[in-house]
Structure 1
Amino acid sequence: MTKRLLFNVFFLLAGILATAQTSTLSVEKIMQDPKWMGTFPTDIKWDDQSAFIYFNYNLDNDPDDSLYRVAISNPSKIEKVNWKDKNKLVPFGGSYNSNKSQKVYSKDNTLKLYSISTQKITDLIQLPGNISNAVFLQNDKIIAFQYENNAFTYNLENGTVKKLTNIKSGEAPKEQNKEFSDKNKWLKDDNLSLLEVINQREEKKENSENYRNMTSEKSSFEFFLDKKRLINMVVSPNQKYITFNLYVSNNSDPTIVPDFIDASGYTKDLNTRSKVGDNNAQIELAIYSVEKDTVYFVSQDDLPGIKDLPDYVKDYPEKEWEEKIREVNFSRAYFSDNGSHAIVNVRSKDNKDRWITKLDLESGYLETLDRQRDEAWIAGPGIGWSMGGGTLGWLPDNKHIYYQSEATGYSHLYIQDVTNGRKKALTSGKFEVFDPFISNDKKHWYLTTSEVHPGERHFYKMPLMGGKMEKLTTLIGNNEVSLSPDEKFLAIRHSYSNRPWELYYKPNIANVKETPITSGQSDEFKEYNWRKPKLINFSASDDVQVPARLYTPAPEVKNGAAVIFVHGAGYLQNVHKWWSSYFREYMFHNLLTDLGYTVLDIDYRGSAGYGRDWRTAIYRHMGGKDLSDQVDGAGYLVEEFNIDPDRIGIYGGSYGGFITLMGLFNESETFKSGAALRSVTDWAHYNHGYTSNILNEPYNDPIAYRRSSPIYFIEGLKGHLLIAHGMVDVNVHFQDVVRLVQRLIELEKDNWEMAVYPAEDHGFVEPSSWTDEYKRILKLFNNTLIKK
């Protein structure tokens, strides 16, 4: 054999090896039922005695998780709770009295009182229907509860029950119409003049009614709900007022999703959400005054800025914009412990304003304590939403309230004196606060923050009026803490980037290491050396530092191609140091890396975890900064890792599918191929709650929708596109991709294909569907990004 022939054979074999790298992983393996990975704890809870930690787990390979527990005195012994013992358990949570020696709850239509120390259960009252919202009132001698649509109290000293309200379903009975037409009045008068007996009966009836009205007791005030639904009923601690929200249902047009493989053998129509722009639902706030025996409503008319127009109206000078009182949604009322004050979170329905207000219970007037205005939209950790106040409540002194605000660009914890309006930030810095609550002794806060790193979560203790935060957790990653009722121990659900969730515990003392309780990884899962993706930052074209996860192959298998993964949205973070909710994609990225690909996973503009400006950078232009971050990420791979600029692919689901479409349509020089999974193709066809925040309504701001919807940019497709969608997707409807495909056909586009999944909703559940989808994705990248 000549030297030249040997030389050619050598390079031929080298080329074959370079394009045929192998992995111990396979699509079939990583997309099978997740049980193959092991069992991992969820839903961590304590018993009221702080003796046992309860959690969902599956040591016996049951069809589903079961309830397990571990004694804090013997944490090495994990035991399954049998169904008989489970049925005997006092429900977790509930409402406690002031010193937490008792709690009240309802079960089986019975109001029950539970003693924490003796574990004795006392049945207080049984009713024919559901009892809800049971709470202790100011002196712990009275329990307020809701039955059907009315508020009641139960006196623990004498066992008496008192009904506080008289609220009824349906419409108020209409009074008989006593107005007669001229014809009917003449007939009645003529009849009475002719027939004496009838005339006498009418006079007697009138006299009797007048007598009854003078001598009978005044009936209790009746309030009729009409077509509204009562929610969030709250009795003030002094029992003088009852507040409740009224939910006015949305009468918008629903959309239909056909289910072609229903068990009946017939096509069934699923009624699903309406489209953006349908926002008829509204939440009112009503007050019932016990003393006045009447109901009156809270009004937003005097809120500062209630008539403010959004800034985007300047882009439509031809349209006449009316300054009018905007519609709002009210949260429930939050009473101070002494019942003398109440606060309410009010949100404008356009979601550009949030007012923390003090409620005058006598008049229903709102005094604004804090207004947060955002020309994009109000959101962020602890900020709340239309039906909830988020982080909101009272300090024990009955004059300070607490809430979270993005006033500095990051969501932090504030207190405010309602008597003089003075505010104080208890936390500050370029990090966010999550789930703060007050300690049993009312002297401290417990809270979770991202102070150490945007991709870490730790649990802290802090003085009630502010001061140094003491870090109580030590494990790198995410620490989801459940504090024992006596506050002596922390139960911690922890994970790291390459290790799924496990349960730990530790004393409530800083710098003490956590002790593991569970170890749920299967032997098969542990056989593979799962990568710890490197957390990096790269410079975007506007000089902003963009966070990302990076997977790099070994030099000897590197193939010069790259794949960029785009996570979904709804406000989500994926560049972090804990086990990803995208665990299948994480395993797929390990497979791709084994095969020689470089993989980049970006927390693009719009992602959670980086404050207000990052969150709102996509306002009025989805497919703008969020897409340019992907393009800049591709440039970073080319420059820093010698990736071939002609061999970069992109894929993702939901919002990630949307970005993939925008990438292939608008940045065809950057992306050779892409897989768009369960993608939004036209934002005017998505839901209201999410879309209207970012793009406003399509009939008010069509510019935002036109530049944000992939269906308008199909002409730019040059690369290879895979579309995959579940046919019973009630979130992003199958109609989205049907419309897109019709445009692809009309524009005579090549190099695209569509895979449909008749049994799948937005989130796939069948391993066969996951496997089929990701085999197609891998085939797409192998065929389009690898040199042959």
Structure 2
Amino acid sequence: MIKHLAVSALSLALLSACSTTQAPADSRPAATAAANVQLLAPPQADQPLTLQQIMADPDWMGIRAQGAYFADDGQSVYYSRQPSASVLKDYYQLDLDNGSKTKLELAQLHSADQRVGVLNNKGTEKAYLYQGNLFVKDLASGKVRQLTRSNNAIKDLRYLNDGSIAYWQGGKVSVIDTESGLTHQLAQIETQNAPKGVQEPDSYLAKQQHRLIKYVALQHDNAKDKEQRKQALLAVDPTMAAEPFYVGKGKRIAELSVSPDGRYILLALSEKSDKWRSDHDIMPDYLGKDGYVDAVPARARVAEAKSSGHSFLLLDTQEGTQKPITIEGLTGYDEDVLAKVKSENAAAQGEEYDSEKSPRTIALMLDWGWSQSPVQWHSSDNKLALMVEALDNKDRWIATVDLDKGKFSTQHRLHDDAWVNYTHNQYGWLPDTDTLYYLSEESGYSHLYLKPLGGKAKALTQGPYVVSDITLSPDAKYIYYRANKQHPGIYNVYRVELASGKDEQLTQWDGNLEYELSPQGDALLLNASRRTEPAELYLQPIGGEMKKLTDYTSNEFKSYPWQAPEVVAVPSSHGAEDIYARVYLPAGFNPDSADKYPAVIFNHGAGYLQNADYGFSGYFREFMFHNLLAQQGYVVMDMDYRGSKGYGRDWRTAVYRNMGKPEVEDLSDGVKWMAKHANVDAQRAGTYGGSYGGFLTFMALFTQPELFQSGAALRPVTDWAHYNAPYTSNILNTPDVDPIAYERSSPIEHAEGLQKPLLIMSGVLDDNVFFQDSVRLVQRLIELEKPMFETAIYPVEPHGFKQPSSWLDEYRRIHKLFEETLKE
């Protein structure tokens, strides 16, 4: 998915050492206001940057700490480090008392405190999975016991109320007594139709055979006796495993969850016929290891993907029964939410659309930003809540389940005429209450709410900022969260007291950060960065001072005088809010110089991503490249155009059914701002970007050909009908329902507008945005007789390039394009 461009870049981003642990309250930066712009010249570098250095193996910057988390006792921190060219990670334990770091041996990893695990009701034991096997740790003594040893990996587990552990492998759910080690089967789930058992003869020939042939009749009677004996034993013999549950042929278990007492099992089932792989295409690897072209399977396109959603089934292991959970309890489950869109498309074909109510396709809501299950059992009662969504992307529900009747009851419905955000969907139960907590964008921004069953929801946070990453404290008195209250690009950690509603800020950081709460609830582990200082790990006791834990950035990187980009608010001329952007200024910048500067606008990937913040950019190569361009006399802007993350619902959904138009309007305002405030020659501006940024480069050059003098599109989307379903159907619906949106938003439909030099660069092994995207556009441009484009292919590269030589070649070409088209 396009959003994964940012994820892959972040996975390579290196961390810096900043000696200042926190900024005074009066020194936190704010966006440069358009009405009061005072841009200062950047520091001068002793040695100019080179593309060879910028695009080299990033290990020269330092090898960062990844995936950091607290030990179970809160006295140390675990994390990993991985050189960029290695597939293997090294694991470390950092002692918080003395700061010592110990590299863990492979033989220690199974007994190291694991990040993911579950606690028993008393909080005295932790169960976790390592290499697919089950381990239990006594938290007081630290003793670890291995309870299973198998090559058949366990998928998930939970403690039951009696202290035993339920775990499941495929369709088999087992329970193990942690003291005796006895394991028994709770349920066997078969994705088959139930066997018919011993059938009585029903045809003439069968009845005749049983009547005339005694042997046949005897075999039939014996089979009935065996079946009756088996059922009698199951009723009275506790040593026998229960009969399997047969849930239907052609089904696949998408989610399985066991109730705290072990009585109920919730199943979400999908159809095996759902299509997520293409029936028609492969991705050819022209450099296969055997010298031939390898045919790599390809994902399905949104135009061909098929999903029937999920059906929900409740198994009762005590009664041996199963019942479907019906969706009628979901408010609006049968609304024709796409009626207006369908009517518009029908009218374009000279037809009329008659709206009718019909059950919508429903599935579990799988949030792209968190790992919590959408199935939540109450910790002490048999109360079950699910977060589900309509696959038309217009509704998300939090619903409880009547376990006796098998019916949903809506507790919260979040509807959006555009699409419901696929992040900011965390929720759960408050222990020992009938109250749910959850995030919702219903106010226009993601905020935190409480709702008792049968009662009204109450907002715990409110305002023009985004709340995310919520954590319930161990004592359930507070909910911790991350938010950008001070400025859209500055993030800190807060907590709200549930009893009083008191909200307090816990960190005073002037950049971007992520956090984890300690198991004891008394400290925060922070992964924090600033604009020129990549992220490092910090510890902050609740109410205490921030302490730096790691310093992995190389001295070579730290010693260079990197330019910290100004974060400015660009006024919109199109009725939108201000557009936040980073601006890099030329060496020796003079706002009054008679010689105006050339400019470049970088378009970030993912569409829904924030890059114009006060943290270190996940696009670390681009950050250095922009420093290089500034040294060479360019003004560079990096803009969070409409659709970007961090600015609320309206900003996010501004691109609904019209991708590429609002964003290009914002780019146009960016060029105007630079001409007015940064002494830029608006007739010497270029643009570039990768993935969604490549798509946006196309749309700018094709639909506003006078805006930029040149553009470079990296791994770009050219036709949204060829992209994946989960991402694209949110924004453009599906091609069969809304062809207008696809034709309006796909660059290949506007290619005739190209008038300026264009560079197209794609990886042949890109399984995200297929190489075919570029091939199709190139043929379209050839047929349009457009002479002003060039292409470059990278035979071994996936969506996120891996080889330094590929990065270097790519950016040499981009640099050359700008030098030839933007410099006088």
Is 2:221 the counterpart of 1:199? no
Q: Which moved more, 1:99-108 or 1:763-772?
A: 99-108
Alpha-carbon spacing, 1:131–1:722, altered in 2? closer, same or farther (3 Å): closer
Secondary structure in 1 aligned to 2:141?
coil
Alignment partners' CA distance in 1, 2:684 and 2:699: 18
Residue of structure 2 in register with 1:348 after alignment: 390
Q: 1:496 aligns with which of 524, 530, 540?
A: 530
Aligned partner of 1:5 in structure 2 is none
In structure 1, the gaps of 5 or more residues are: 1-20, 384-390
The question of whether the paired residues in 1 share the 8 Å contact of 2:126 and 2:139 is answered with yes
Amino acid at match of 1:165: A
In the alignment, which of 633, 642, 646 is matched to residue 679 of structure 2? Answer: 642
Query: Structure 1 residues 59 and 719, CA, compared in 2 at 3 Å: closer, same or farther?
Result: closer
Q: Indicate if the aligned counterparts of 2:380 and 2:432 stay in contact, CA closer than 8 A.
A: no
One-letter amino acid of the structure 2 residue matched with residue 272 of structure 1 = A
Could you tell me how far apart the structure 1 residues matched to 2:380 and 2:550 are?
44
Residue range with higher mean Cα deviation, 362-371 or 42-51: 42-51
Question: Where do residues 652-663 of structure 1 align in structure 2 (5 Å cutoff)?
Answer: 652-663=689-700
Moved more, 611-620 or 161-170: 161-170
| 286-295 or 151-160, larger mean C-alpha shift | 151-160
CA separation in 1, counterparts of 2:418 and 2:364? 20
Task: Choose 454-463 or 21-30, whichever is displaced more.
Answer: 21-30
Shift of 1:125: 5.3
Aligned length: 747
1:534 counterpart = 2:569? no
Q: Residue 259 of structure 1: which of 263, 277, 285 is its match? A: 285
Q: Supply the distance in 2 between the matched residues of 1:428 and 1:405 (Cα, whole angstroms).
A: 11
Deviation per CA, 1:277-327: give whole Å up to 9, x if none. Answer: 313253222111133311222121342212222232231342435431111
For 1:685, give the aligned amino acid. Answer: H
Instruction: Identify if the C-alpha distance between structure 1 residues 191 and 760 changes in structure 2 by more than 3 Å, giving closer, same or farther.
Output: closer
CA offsets, 1:356-378, max 9 Å, x none?
Answer: 11100112101111111111110
Label 1:87 to 1:362 Cα distance change in 2 as closer, same or farther (>3 A): closer
Tell me the residue number matched to 1:136. 159
Per-residue displacement from partner, 1:740-773 (whole Å, max 9, x unpaired)?
1111111111221001111111111111111011
Find the aligned partners of 2:652 and 2:688 in 1 and give their Cα distance.
Answer: 22
Q: Is 1:291 matched with 2:326?
A: no
Q: 1:767–1:285: structure 2 CA closer, same or farther, 3 Å change rule?
A: same
- Larger Rg: 1 or 2? 1
Q: Once structures 1 and 2 are overlaid, which stretch shifts more, 457-466 or 725-734?
A: 457-466
Is residue 399 of structure 1 aligned with residue 434 of structure 2? yes
Give the deviation of 1:515 after TM superposition: 1.7
**Selected match of 2:735 from 698, 712, 717:** 698
Query: Does the C-alpha gap of structure 1 residues 772 and 159 become closer, same or farther in structure 2, counting only changes over 3 Å?
Result: closer
Q: Secondary structure at the match of 1:131?
A: coil
CA contact (8 A) 1:352 1:377 kept: yes
* Contact in 1 for aligned 2:607/2:693 (Cα 8 Å): no
Instruction: Tell me if the contact between 1:559 and 1:596 (Cα under 8 Å) persists in the aligned partners.
Output: no
Which of the residues 103, 114, 121 maps onto 1:98?
121
What is the rounded CA distance, in whole Å, between the counterparts of 2:144 and 2:421 in structure 1? Answer: 42
Structure-2 separation of matches of 1:653 and 1:483: 35
* Residue matched to 1:72: 96
| CA distance, structure 2, for counterparts of residue 63 and residue 702 of structure 1 | 42
In the alignment, which residue of structure 2 is the partner of 1:38?
62
CA distance in 2, matches of 1:484, 1:78: 19
How far residue 690 of structure 1 moved from its aligned partner, in angstroms, is 0.7
State the 1:397 CA deviation: 2.8
Instruction: State how 1:587-626 maps to structure 2 within 5 Å.
Output: 587-626=624-663
1 CA distance for matches of 2:448 and 2:184?
A: 39
The RMSD of aligned alpha carbons is 2.6
Match of 2:185 in 1: 163
Alpha-carbon deviation of 1:599?
0.8
Q: Which residue of structure 2 lines up, in the alignment, with residue 312 of structure 1?
A: 341
In structure 2, give the amino acid aligned to 1:37.
Answer: M
- Name which of 495, 498, 504 aligns with 1:461: 495
- Map Cα deviations across residues 210-233 of structure 1 (whole Å, 9 max, x no partner): 555655525544323533332432
SS across alignment from 1:304: coil
Secondary structure of the residue that 1:39 maps to in structure 2?
coil
* Range with greater deviation from structure 2 (49-58 or 392-401): 49-58
- Give the aligned partner of residue 105 of structure 2: 82
Q: Deviations over 1:559-590 (max 9, x none)?
A: 52110111012521001011111111111110
Q: Helix, strand or coil: the match of 2:683?
A: coil
Q: 1:229 aligns with which of 229, 233, 252?
A: 252
Give the TM-score normalised by structure 2: 0.86
Instruction: Describe the shift of the 1:211–1:39 C-alpha distance in structure 2 as closer, same or farther (beyond 3 A).
Output: closer
Bigger relative contact order, structure 1 or 2 (CA pairs below 8 A, ≥6 apart) = 2
Query: Taking structure 1 as the reference length, what is the TM-score of the superposition?
Result: 0.90
| 1:516 match | 548
Question: In the TM superposition, what is the alpha-carbon distance from 1:40 to its structure 2 partner?
Answer: 2.2
Which residue type is aligned with residue 228 of structure 1?
K
Structure 1 residues 79 and 109: alpha-carbon distance in aligned structure 2, compared to 1, 3 A threshold: closer
Q: Which residue in the other structure is 1:436 paired with? A: 470
Equivalent AA in structure 1 for residue 295 of structure 2 = D
Aligned to 2:599: 562
2: distance between equivalents of 1:100 and 1:155? 17
Separation in 1, partners of 2:207, 2:582: 89
CA distance in 1, matches of 2:229, 2:62: 76
Question: How big is the shift at 1:104?
Answer: 1.5
Query: How do 1:142-221 and structure 2 match up within 5 A?
Result: 142-156=164-178, 159-173=181-195, 185=204, 198-209=212-223, 211-212=225-226, 216-217=230-231, 220-221=242-243
Query: Structure 2 vs 1, CA of residues 138 and 207 (structure 1 numbering), >3 Å: closer, same or farther?
Result: closer
Q: Determine the C-alpha separation between the residues in 1 that align with 2:47 and 2:823.
A: 16
Instruction: Work out whether 1:552 is the aligned partner of 2:552.
Output: no
- 1:130, CA displacement in angstroms? 2.9
Letter of the 1:437 counterpart? T
CA contact (8 A) 2:601 2:637 kept: yes
CA distance in 1, matches of 2:198, 2:291: 53
Say if 1:338 and 1:398, in contact at 8 Å, map to a contact too.
Answer: no
Quick one: percent identity of the two aligned structures? 37
Letter in 2 for 1:41: A
Q: Which residue of 2 is the match for residue 328 of structure 1? A: 362
Inter-partner Cα distance in structure 1 for 2:786 and 2:395: 45
**Pair 1:215–1:93, CA change in 2 (3 A):** closer
Unaligned 5+ segments in structure 2 are 1-44, 235-241, 366-373
**Which letter maps to 2:562?**
W
The offset of 1:555, in angstroms, is 2.6
Q: State the alpha-carbon separation in 1 of the partners of residues 798 and 472 from structure 2.
A: 40
Structure 1 residues 58 and 289: alpha-carbon distance in aligned structure 2, compared to 1, 3 A threshold: closer
In 2, the alpha carbon distance for the partners of 1:377 and 1:149 equals 34
The amino acid across from 1:596 in the alignment is G
